[in-house]
Amino acid sequence: MKASKQAIELIKDFEGLRTSVYICLAGYRTIGYGHVLASNDNIDEIPLMEAEELLSIDINKAENSVLRNINIELTQGQFDALVSFTFNLGSGALQRSTLRQKINRQEHDAVPKEFMRWVHVSGMVVPGLVRRRQAELELYIL
């Protein structure tokens, strides 16, 4: 299964494009469409084409994480929502989440609450994360 064009556009919209290094809300050096740089990456700027390549690599990692961690059949919308979630929060967050457990037990009624637990940075609710989780939920219930 692969992320749909709709999922990729959602990720791009919420991540935004920055061709220069910036520090994200979680405190990581980031570039492009939310690509977290390794501590030994010596990059200050990238062209758009490289940002697109990094996005593709990062989406592929998120897709593989969803496929590894979710053991039930998903609709395209459910898969897309989980790819966006994983792209944003990382594979470890999905792996250790109650969201993953609820999905794997097919407790789909509990999914909205679990998505909305992931809207904080340093204990503070971030409005952009609330909007992103709501958009992911819309995909999930398609």
CB-CB neighbours of 1 under 10 Å:
15
d(CA 34, CA 58): 9
- On whether the CB atoms of residues 24 and 36 are closer than 8 A, the answer is yes
Strand intervals (E) in 1-142: 18-23, 29-32, 35-36, 120-121, 124-125
Reading the block at residue 98, the tokens are: 């109650």
Catalytic residue annotation: 15
- On whether the CB atoms of residues 56 and 46 are closer than 8 A, the answer is no
- On whether the CB atoms of residues 78 and 63 are closer than 8 A, the answer is no
